[in-house]
């Protein structure tokens, strides 16, 4: 099975969640949709990013995992934007972008 990455640009933690629990909590959310291989927290261009590597059956499946998980994660941690990458020979190629849209009564995902 191919490997994919969910790369989240994150903001504020919405619930009182200890810092040490943020990464495992996000990985556990993704694990409800796919098998998680690795997790990491990084600062890129001055922005905090959470990176979760997981296995997927297809590019469409991986985008669906990222869309669904991002909605769930946004209830705990502000997701400013995210993208899906497919890994090929150790390098990531972006196959989808998204941003969680907040509405008065429901959350939605906008993809490009």
What are the tens digits of pLDDT across the range 65-83?
999 999 999 999 999 999 9
Q: Is the sign of the CA dihedral 17, 20, 23, 28 positive or negative? A: negative
Q: In the chain, where are the structural domains located?
A: 3-111
Q: What CATH number belongs to 3-111?
A: 3.30.70.260
Q: Is the model's pLDDT at 84 over the cut of 60?
A: yes
pTM listed for this prediction: 0.87
- 33 confidence band (pLDDT: 50, 70, 90): very high
Nearest to 111 by CA among 90, 94, 97: 97
Q: Is the sign of the CA dihedral 19, 47, 25, 103 positive or negative? A: positive
Nearest to 6 by CA among 103, 101, 102, 74: 74
Q: Does residue 26 contact residue 77 with C-beta atoms inside 8 Å? A: yes
């Amino acid at each position: 099975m191919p490997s994919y990455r969910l790369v989240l640009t994150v903001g504020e933690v919405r619930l009182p969640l200890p810092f040490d629990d943020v990464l495992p909590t996000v990985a556990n959310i993704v694990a409800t949709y796919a098998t998680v291989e690795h997790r990491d927290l990084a600062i890129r261009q001055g922005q905090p990013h959470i990176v979760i590597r997981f296995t997927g059956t297809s590019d469409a499946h991986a985008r669906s995992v990222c869309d669904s998980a991002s909605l769930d994660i946004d209830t705990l941690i502000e997701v400013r934007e995210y993208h899906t990458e497919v890994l090929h020979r150790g390098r990531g190629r972006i196959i989808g972008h998204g941003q969680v849209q907040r509405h008065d009564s429901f959350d939605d995902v906008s993809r490009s």
